[in-house]
Amino acid sequence: MHLHWKHRELVKIIVNENSFVQVTHVAIALEAESGGILVSVDRTTKGYAVTIYRGKNYMLPRKLRPKNLLTRRQALARSIELQRCEALKHHIADLQERIELLMSELDSEEDEGEEAYPET
């Protein structure tokens, strides 16, 4: 971003996230870490476009790569872990739906069984 801001005032970043909430979280993090101003978050055919303005009195940082960034290996591990968590959430939701379906089938069978054999 900082190398792009040397020559231009705006930078547009394409984010390939599924939900708008995740994109806004990424946009706010980019704004905080870069020192820029978030202009807009727009939906495009490739995902979402986050536009950030560098500010009027922008100065290029001394170090372009901060120390708190992840290495490629750490970023890959974090990405895989996030995918696992998301897949686990979907799996749990599917299991809960199946449990509710089975419980409703059990209740309907119990109701039919009581009607077939009335108590004497």
- 10 falls in which pLDDT band (50, 70, 90)? confident
Distance of CA 20 to the CA centre of its chain: 8
Tokens of 80: 């895989």
Opening angle at CA 28, ends 26 and 30, nearest 5 = 70
**pLDDT tens-digit map of 69-119:** 788 898 899 899 999 999 999 999 999 999 999 999 998 888 776 665 555
Whole-model pTM: value is 0.51
Residue in 49, 56, 43, 42 with CA at minimum distance from that of residue 5 = 56
**What is the C-alpha separation between 63 and 6, in angstroms, rounded?**
14
